[in-house]
C-alpha cells in the first residue's frame, strides 16, 4: 500500500443555479449545472502514528474536529470499524466561504484519498452515502466532472461532457456565508413554473447561451450583501470573457472563454481589479483520465 498520497480538490463551479422550491424542513430545492476547474486546494495524506490536520495557505479554517476533512475521516472510521490514523496537510488555495465548494471538495477528496491510501473495501454507493451525511455539495465532488444537480443538491446526473473551455475565477476577497444569502432569497425570486431540461450543450456557444439563460437565482441577494460582486462581473466582461456568472452563493464569480484565452483575460482583469483573487484555469471534462490526474 502507498504510504502517502497527494490530492487536488478542484473548485466546484455552479455555472447555473435556479431555486425550484423550499421544503417543509427549510431546505431549498434547486437545479444547477455543475462543473469543476483544474485549480483547487491541495492535500497530502500520509499514514502516521497520530491523526493530525495542518492548514496552510490563504484564509482561516478550523483544524479541529469541526472541519469537514476530519469529519470525513471519522465517518470512514465508523463505517469500516478501523482506525485510519493519518497526517493531513491542507494547502488552502480557494477563497473561504467563496461559493466554490472548497470545504466540500476537500471532504470528498479525503473520502476518495483515504479509500485509496488504506485500500478500503468501500463501494461507490457506500461512499456516496457517507458524502450525503457530510453535506449537500460533497456527493457532487466525489467525481469532479460535469453534472446536473437537482433536489437539495445531493442528486447528481453525470454529463457525458462539456465543451472545452477556459474559466477565470475571481473573488473580491470577501467571505459570504451561504446562510446569509439564502435568508434574503425569498424576496428576490419565485420558483419556476416547470423544471428545466437537463442541459445538452454541444459547443462553446451553446454552453454560454445556457449559462446566460439560466442565470443564478442567488446573485441578487448575494450582490446586496456584497456589492463588489457586480463589479467583478463587469470586470470579467470588460476583460474579454464570453459569458460570466456568480458561482453558488458567492462571492466568487467566473468568466468562460475559449481554450487559450483564459490567461490573457485574467491578466487584463488583474489590471482592473488588482486587489481581487484571480485565477485562470480550465474546465475538467468527464474523462476518467482527467479525474485520475488529480491523485498522485
Catalytic residues: 12, 137
**Exposed / middle / buried, residue 193 (Cβ in 10 Å: 0-12, 13-18, 19+):** exposed
Reference 159, options 196, 116, 201, 221; nearest CA is 201
232 secondary structure, DSSP code? H
Rounded CA separation 21/158 (Å): 22
Contact 136, 283 (CB under 8 A): no
Rounded CA separation 138/274 (Å): 32
Q: Residue 130: is the preceding peptide bond cis (ω within 30°)?
A: no
For every residue of 41-86, DSSP letters joined together read EEEEEEE-SS-EEEEEESS----STTSHHHHHHHHHHHHHTS---E
Amino acid at each position: 500500500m502507498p504510504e502517502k498520497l497527494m490530492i487536488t480538490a478542484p473548485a466546484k463551479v455552479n455555472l447555473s443555479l435556479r431555486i425550484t422550491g423550499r421544503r417543509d424542513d427549510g431546505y431549498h430545492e434547486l437545479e444547477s449545472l455543475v462543473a469543476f476547474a483544474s485549480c483547487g486546494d491541495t492535500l497530502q495524506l500520509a499514514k502516521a502514528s497520530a491523526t493530525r490536520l495542518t492548514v496552510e495557505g490563504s484564509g482561516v479554517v478550523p483544524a479541529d474536529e469541526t472541519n469537514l476533512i476530519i469529519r470525513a475521516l471519522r465517518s470512514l472510521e465508523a463505517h469500516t470499524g478501523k482506525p485510519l490514523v493519518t497526517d493531513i496537510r491542507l494547502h488552502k488555495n480557494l477563497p473561504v466561504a467563496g461559493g466554490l465548494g472548497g470545504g466540500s471538495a476537500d471532504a470528498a477528496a479525503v473520502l476518495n484519498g483515504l479509500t485509496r491510501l488504506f485500500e478500503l473495501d468501500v463501494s461507490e454507493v457506500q461512499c456516496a452515502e457517507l458524502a450525503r451525511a457530510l453535506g449537500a455539495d460533497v456527493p457532487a465532488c466525489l467525481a469532479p466532472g460535469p453534472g446536473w444537480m437537482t433536489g437539495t443538491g445531493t442528486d447528481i446526473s453525470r454529463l457525458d461532457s462539456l465543451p472545452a473551455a477556459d474559466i477565470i475565477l475571481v473573488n473580491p476577497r470577501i467571505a459570504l456565508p451561504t446562510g446569509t444569502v439564502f435568508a434574503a432569497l425569498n424576496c428576490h425570486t419565485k420558483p419556476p413554473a416547470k423544471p428545466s431540461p437537463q442541459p445538452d450543450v454541444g459547443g462553446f456557444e451553446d454552453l454560454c447561451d445556457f449559462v446566460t439563460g439560466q442565470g443564478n437565482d442567488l446573485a441578487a441577494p448575494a450582490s446586496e450583501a456584497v456589492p463588489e460582486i457586480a463589479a467583478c462581473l463587469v470586470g470579467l466582461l470588460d476583460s474579454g470573457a464570453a459569458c460570466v456568472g456568480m458561482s453558488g452563493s458567492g462571492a466568487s464569480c467566473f468568466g468562460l472563454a475559449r481554450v487559450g484565452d483564459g490567461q490573457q483575460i485574467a491578466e487584463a482583469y488583474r489590471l482592473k481589479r488588482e486587489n481581487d483573487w484571480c485565477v485562470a484555469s480550465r474546465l475538467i471534462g468527464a474523462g476518467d483520465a482527467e479525474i485520475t490526474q488529480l491523485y498522485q
